[in-house]
């Protein structure tokens, strides 16, 4: 490859809320550099494909994810020293998977809590951090929660989902008020099963739209007391 030409790779930052934690999908490298470290799924961009198609192709080759609820371009990394072998540009994509999805994983691939990352290869830990910041920001001004929440849910379940993604406690009362006022969520005709302690059944909600829309460009969720 000529000295002024660089390999370009597409990476996928796949997030899923699992057991009230935001987790990321990583695979363990078996060869140098960073042998034994964990990396984002991805690979080289072909000359005849777009970046988004490349990211989707590499994800499909690495793990069987039935459906990605949301996929968007995150950022491009161009540090000449990010790969010790040669100069490699990397464009990362944020991919969100619904909690009901349980993709089949190969032996070298696993989910890891974003707050407790293992040793990561290259600059992948930093890219994961950027992806989480993007998700946090979009939770405040879009309806992107539809991509990480169940299709239907109680407000307490949605609170746990938002808290996992944001990384801080969320008030269920405030969450319901804000998202209802913005038209992000709407009640269904269903109610949850009565609680074991005899409490009243809770209303079941759903997202009004299951594709990304801006709901309030000036809003921001901030840490607050647990409801």
Question: Consecutive 10-residue runs of the chain (227 residues): their mean pLDDT?
Answer: 79 97 98 98 96 93 86 97 96 96 93 98 98 96 97 97 97 96 96 71 96 82 50
Q: What confidence score (pLDDT) does residue 193 get?
A: 74
C-alpha–C-alpha distance, residues 82 and 70, integer Å = 27
Contacts by residues 221-224 (CB-CB < 8 Å, ≥ 24 positions apart): 221/136, 221/139, 221/140, 221/162, 221/166, 221/170, 221/178, 223/168, 223/169, 224/168, 224/169, 224/170, 224/171, 224/174
Distance CA 224, CA 157 (A): 17
Beta strands at 109-113 and 152-153: parallel, antiparallel or unpaired: unpaired
Supply the pLDDT for residue 198: 59
Distance of alpha carbon 206 from alpha carbon 132, whole angstroms? 23
Beta bridge partners of 88: 7
Q: CA 123 → CA 39, 44, 178, 188, distances in Å? A: 9, 16, 36, 44
Q: Is the pTM of this model over 0.85?
A: yes
Give CA separation, 166 vs 17, 51, 129, in Å. 11, 28, 12
Q: How far is CA 215 from CA 87, 121, 169, in A?
A: 40, 36, 22
């Amino acid at each position: 490859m000529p000295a002024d030409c660089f390999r370009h790779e597409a990476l996928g930052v796949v997030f899923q809320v699992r057991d009230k934690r935001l987790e990321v999908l990583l695979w363990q490298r078996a060869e140098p550099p960073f042998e034994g470290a964990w990396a984002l799924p991805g690979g080289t961009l072909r000359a005849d494909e777009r970046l988004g198609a490349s990211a989707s192709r590499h994800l499909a080759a690495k793990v069987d994810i039935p459906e990605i609820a949301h996929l968007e371009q995150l950022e491009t990394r161009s540090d000449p020293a990010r790969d010790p072998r040669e100069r490699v540009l990397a464009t990362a994509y944020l991919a969100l998977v619904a909690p009901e999805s349980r993709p089949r994983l190969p032996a070298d691939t696993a989910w890891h809590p974003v707050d407790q990352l293992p040793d990561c290869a290259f600059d992948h830990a930093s890219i994961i951090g950027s992806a989480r910041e993007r998700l946090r920001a979009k939770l405040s001004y879009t309806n992107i929660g539809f991509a990480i929440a169940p299709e239907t849910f109680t407000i307490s379940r949605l609170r746990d989902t938002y808290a996992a993604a944001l990384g801080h406690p969320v008030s269920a009362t405030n969450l319901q008020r804000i998202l209802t006022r913005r038209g992000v969520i709407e009640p269904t005709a269903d109610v949850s099963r009565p609680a074991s302690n005899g409490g009243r059944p809770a209303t079941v909600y759903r997202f009004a739209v299951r594709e990304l829309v801006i709901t309030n460009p000036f809003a921001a969720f901030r840490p607050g007391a647990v409801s």
